[in-house]
Chains A and B, each alone.
Chain A
Amino acid sequence: MTEIVVVSSGTGANSSSRLLGTRLAEAATAVLTERNQPVIVNHIELRVIASDLANYLVTGVASARLEDAFAQIRAADGVIAVTAVYNGSYTGLFKLFFDALGRDLLRGRPVLPAATGGTSRHSLVIEYAMVPLFYYLRALVSSVPVFAATSDWGASVGLDARIDDAARAFVNLMASSHPEKADASFDVTDFSTLLGG
């Protein structure tokens, strides 16, 4: 079973970020199905947990919804992370989630970055903002990201092909990686080792 989690930070109920995430997940599902591999796709829409994230950052109290989102990431074979472009970068909400997630949950985990924006002039936001963030978090960043500008949605032929390419690269990356799924935060180092310091 392959578990994919789509994290999208669009603020509208049917945002283009959510749509792009769904399309990428569908394309990845198609590739996995070709290979006779069952798939589960879960969506984390950050707009739904926006206040939970803000509360967590200032008080350290994680809501049940937030714990659930973290658990989904921990259980995922791969994460499709989609943001809108605000002021030349990912949105604050998008960063808030990965700040709250902590340093270890993306370590060694395949991530497919994707972004949406008003015009294609923003397309390098993936290379200049998203990829450094995921490198810092030690994620395995898929080499074929997708940027969708408003104009792409009308002329969907080019976008479809890019989505398929990205999905295939992402599935191949997932096939060759084994992200940690157990919660290591309660693992013990024997005290004699600690004393030896």
Chain B
Amino acid sequence: MQIGLFSVGDVTTDPTTGRTPSEHERIKAAVAIARKAEEIGLDVFAIGEHHNPPFHPSSPTTLLAYIAAQTSTITLSTATTLITTNDPVKLAEDYSVLQHLADGRVDLMLGRGNTGPVYPWFGKDIRDGIDLAIENYALLRRLWREEVVDWEGKFRTPLHGFTLAPQPLDGVAPFVWHGSIRSPQIAEQAAYYGDGFFHNNIFWNMGHTKQMVSLYRRRFEFHGHGPADTAIVGLGGQFFARKNSQDAINEFRPYFDVAPVYGHGPSLEEFMAETPLTVGSPQQVLERTLSFRQHVGHYQRQLFLLDHAGLPLKTVLEQLDILGELLPELRKGFAEGRPAHVPDAPSHASLVAARDAAAAAASELVGAGEAGR
């Protein structure tokens, strides 16, 4: 089970002080948070991609490459990489380079992006979102798997005799997750390729998340990648914890109440009842997080959103300390009752090993065939 962080990369005023951090501070804060995540023993750090203020991560591979240089074990990922407005050729190039620099500690999560005005800035139209995601990813896969690609599609100029440089590390493409909140087509896409499926989960009641995940699991099995309970599932979550639950609520409420995404809406209590947000003691966070399995089955990746709503870096790092202390119990809880056949999320090493094992099995078959002749 992988446990990690995902961050949107927003520049938000701290409502308790009225102070707005600069973009520079927030970019450096992302690095500090990623380093801290590794230090406390987390498995994954993922950053969003946005092309409009108040968000800073317009160039996620630049940021992640810098973080890769400052860390040594944590897997670097995205939440999400825009498969709609980015050129799949440039994505293949950027993430190949990142994969080499990070010695394989890279995977990525693809998403469509839901900000209509951004699409035309990149020559696209949000109404083509699903079609773009499907065509662009089909090309991206081929670029990472075939040495010479001839390709024609609807959304970009054709490729004739195109060879990606650099080729992916060890000839193995980074593992891909598909993030979607409510599009069955994207769950189907993830299932079709046997890729991972991530539900952001944080604005939704569990009933909805459960339906999307079970759709993905069912179709994963239908497309022949193995039993539904071996599909690769990731979930988002968010919490704010203090030793005493009332302290957590008192401290987080002013941030919650005016947060750009959920502020000015439901009360903190309503939001906690209807979404996975937990504000309370570490024990409450532990129990709530471990309850997700009851809805979606044993899963592979749990990412928390902790760096948001204008919380100062110091507070976010304190939250990470709390998560670090909770980690052994979280891991123990996730391991409980987990059947042996439920796989871990693929890593670069496991993908290389699987590729080599498949090649060895194939050559044995060839050998056996020759011996029998």
User: What residues make up the interface of A, taking CB atoms closer than 8 Å to B?
Assistant: 54-55, 58-64, 67, 185-191, 194-195, 197
Rounded to whole Å, the gap between the CB of A39 and the closest CB of chain B is: 29
Rounded to whole Å, the gap between the CB of B199 and the closest CB of chain A is: 13
Cβ contacts under 8 Å, A58 to chain B: 264-265
Counting CB contacts under 8 A, is B135 at the interface? yes
Q: A59-B262, A63-B274 are in contact. Are A194 and B185 (CB under 8 A)?
A: yes
Please determine whether A55 and B265 come into contact, CB atoms closer than 8 angstroms. Answer: yes
Chain A residue nearest in CB terms to B271 = A61
Cβ contacts under 8 Å, A189 to chain B: 184-185, 188
Cβ contacts under 8 Å, B7 to chain A: none
**Alpha-carbon distance A42/B221, docked complex (angstroms):** 40
Chain A residue nearest in CB terms to B266 = A55
Cβ contacts under 8 Å, B205 to chain A: 61-62, 64, 67
Q: A185-B184, A186-B211 are in contact. Are A59 and B261 (CB under 8 A)?
A: yes
Rounded to whole Å, the gap between the CB of B134 and the closest CB of chain A is: 5
Sorted nearest first, the 6 A-B pairs with minimum C-beta distance are A191-B192, A59-B265, A55-B265, A55-B266, A59-B262, A58-B265
Known: A63-B274, A188-B219, A197-B135; 18 extra A-B contacts, CB below 8 A, are: A59-B265, A60-B203, A61-B203, A61-B205, A61-B266, A61-B274, A62-B205, A63-B266, A186-B212, A186-B215, A188-B215, A189-B185, A189-B188, A191-B189, A191-B192, A194-B130, A194-B189, A195-B134
Please determine whether B203 and A59 come into contact, CB atoms closer than 8 angstroms. Answer: yes
In the complex, which residues 252-283 of chain B have their Cβ closer than 8 Å to any Cβ of chain A? 261-262, 264-266, 270-271, 273-275
Cβ contacts under 8 Å, A60 to chain B: 203
**Alpha-carbon distance A64/B273, docked complex (angstroms):** 9
Counting CB contacts under 8 A, is B182 at the interface? yes
Cβ contacts under 8 Å, B90 to chain A: none
Cβ contacts under 8 Å, B160 to chain A: none
Q: A61-B266, A61-B271, A63-B274 are in contact. Are A188 and B189 (CB under 8 A)?
A: no
Pick from B189, B204, B223, B270 the residue with the most CB of A within 10 Å: B270
Counting CB contacts under 8 A, is B287 at the interface? no
Please determine whether B274 and A64 come into contact, CB atoms closer than 8 angstroms. Answer: yes
Rounded to whole Å, the gap between the CB of B98 and the closest CB of chain A is: 27
Please determine whether B265 and A61 come into contact, CB atoms closer than 8 angstroms. Answer: yes
In the complex, which residues 155-212 of chain B have their Cβ closer than 8 Å to any Cβ of chain A? 182, 184-185, 187-189, 191-192, 203-205, 207, 211-212
Q: A186-B211, A191-B189, A194-B185 are in contact. Are A59 and B266 (CB under 8 A)?
A: yes
Rounded to whole Å, the gap between the CB of B204 and the closest CB of chain A is: 7
Please determine whether A55 and B184 come into contact, CB atoms closer than 8 angstroms. Answer: no
Cβ contacts under 8 Å, B185 to chain A: 189, 194
Q: A61-B203, A185-B182, A189-B188 are in contact. Are A195 and B138 (CB under 8 A)?
A: yes
